[in-house]
Amino acid sequence: MLAYDGTEFTSVPAISFAGPTDPVGAGDTAVSAAAAALGARSTVLEAAALAAVAASITVRKLGQTGTASQEEILSLLRSMA
């Protein structure tokens, strides 16, 4: 993902993992996560990072329009720390 804060562009890498993926809903999830973060006054970079995490959860949900719950996002962030 490429984030622009009005001054500079920053590349936010995707979260990589092994296994099959299903991209249905990943874009919607990324946009909604970024919008929620920006609405909560996060920086553009923080919003893009959250969007990448949320989308990485969504693409792991095969055969469905995936979603990423708060619990799933927090769990993935904790496992990455």
pTM strictly above 0.75: yes
Give pLDDT, residue 66: 79
How far is the C-alpha of 7 from the C-alpha of 75, rounded, in Å? 32
pLDDT in tens, 22-79: 988 899 999 999 999 999 999 999 999 999 999 999 999 999 887 899 999 999 999 9
Q: Where along the chain do its domains lie?
A: 2-14+29-36+43-80
CA distances from 30 to 16, 23, 26, 51 (A): 15, 11, 6, 4
pLDDT band at residue 81 using 50, 70 and 90 as cut-offs: confident
Give pLDDT, residue 64: 87
Q: Are 76 and 34 in contact (CB under 8 A)?
A: no
